[in-house]
Structure 1
Amino acid sequence: MRLFVAIDFPDSVKDQLDTLQTHIPTARWVKRHQMHLTLFFLGETDRLQDIKDALASVTAAPFELTLASVGRFPKRQKQPPRVLWVGIDADPALGQLHKKITQVLAEIGFEPEDRLFNPHITLARLKTREPLPEVDTFLNAHDVFRVPSIPITEFTLFSSMLSSQGAHYEREAVFALKTAL
């Protein structure tokens, strides 16, 4: 089973993210049911119950997120774009939640990624070997994109099944944010 931990968003937020879709050569836009903020990618594992038990121990207070601006990976304009994304205004509570999830999963043997946590929502994936002027146009047109104050009250453990039609996500468990007693 292929698993990841993420923050899911309400339909009202996904509606706003959908408005960003436009024609860009080779772009495969993320379907609305796949829009999320990844907190930890576990990969293939058969340890579903261990993971649920570990995640159930996470205590973190609810908080708010603001989606702001758009960007691309890699960031260097001279390299071909691979991903278009919406950014997250840095909130210390998000970083703390990520850290707690990482810690409890590391305790049961799941190694965190080597790279720094860079919170974003993937909008599109591109397959090109060349820089695309349409990407620059997209970034300039939406650099002031903003979805303010989304209340975050839970995080979700998803499974991901890959198929020829793309990935299908299933909620395996939802964990309410709560402060320690």
Structure 2
Amino acid sequence: MPRLFTALELPSDIAFSLSLLRGGLPGARWIDPENYHITLRFIGDVDHRTANEVAGTLAQVSRPGFELSLSGLGTFGGRKPHSVWAGVSAGDKLRELQADLERRLQRLGLDPDRRKFSPHVTLARLKTASQGDVAAYLALRGDFRTPPFEVGRFVLLSSRDSRGGGPYIMEEAYPLAA
């Protein structure tokens, strides 16, 4: 049974810039740069018939390409931070693409995603990092920014049941209009 999600890939130069942020945070388990992505919609564990239906409906998406950039760092988890992320400067075209995917997947009978769409790139998982260490890390690196980059496609990825961070397998790629 595949575990699926849709995502945007990052250009290699952007992934390299993100990789330079690794280190300096005790208790962090860093994501490998080849596994950096921006999740559009987590689908979850589905049977093979549903996986084929998902792939088919995603092939019908017709949206324009767009530019994105990354800006700032933050954490999820409040007082008990559990991950460090790089923010995405999201425009209307990204949000429209994500909403289109959400609608199409719900039409297949998949449950709506309960989490509000918050585009980001996960950099590290945290288990034992202290609030103080996380605050110090963010104070030193929180002004991270990338130049804009073109988004020309989205992908359907699968993962095995793991503790986050990959490895991911690209099942399909879906081009966006020029």
Scaled by the length of structure 1, the TM-score of the pair is 0.90
Amino acid at match of 1:111: D
Contact 2:28–2:126 (Cα < 8 Å) also in 1: yes
Q: Provide the C-alpha distance between the structure 1 equivalents of 2:163 and 2:85, rounded to a whole number of angstroms.
A: 23
Say which SS state the counterpart of residue 51 (structure 1) adopts. helix
Give the deviation of 1:177 after TM superposition.
0.7
Contact 1:102–1:112 (Cα < 8 Å) also in 2: yes
Amino acid at match of 1:68: S
Say which SS state the counterpart of residue 122 (structure 1) adopts. strand
Counting matched residue pairs gives 175
Q: Provide the C-alpha distance between the structure 1 equivalents of 2:38 and 2:163, rounded to a whole number of angstroms.
A: 23
Offset from partner CA, 1:89-146 (integer Å, 9 cap, x none)? 1211100000001011111011222221111000001013x73322111111122110
Runs of 5+ in structure 2 lacking a partner?
none
What residue in structure 2 maps to residue 22 of structure 1?
A: 23
Tell me whether 1:85 sits opposite 2:78 in the alignment: no
Q: Provide the C-alpha distance between the structure 2 equivalents of 1:164 and 1:113, rounded to a whole number of angstroms.
A: 20
Contact 1:162–1:168 (Cα < 8 Å) also in 2: no
Give the deviation of 1:167 after TM superposition.
3.0
**What is the percent sequence identity of the aligned residues?**
34
What residue in structure 1 maps to residue 160 of structure 2?
A: 161
Q: Provide the C-alpha distance between the structure 1 equivalents of 2:149 and 2:157, rounded to a whole number of angstroms.
A: 20
Scaled by the length of structure 2, the TM-score of the pair is 0.92
Contact 2:30–2:125 (Cα < 8 Å) also in 1: yes
Offset from partner CA, 1:36-58 (integer Å, 9 cap, x none)? 00001111112221011110111
Distance 1:163 1:41, change over 3 A: closer
Runs of 5+ in structure 1 lacking a partner?
none
Q: CA RMSD in A?
A: 1.8
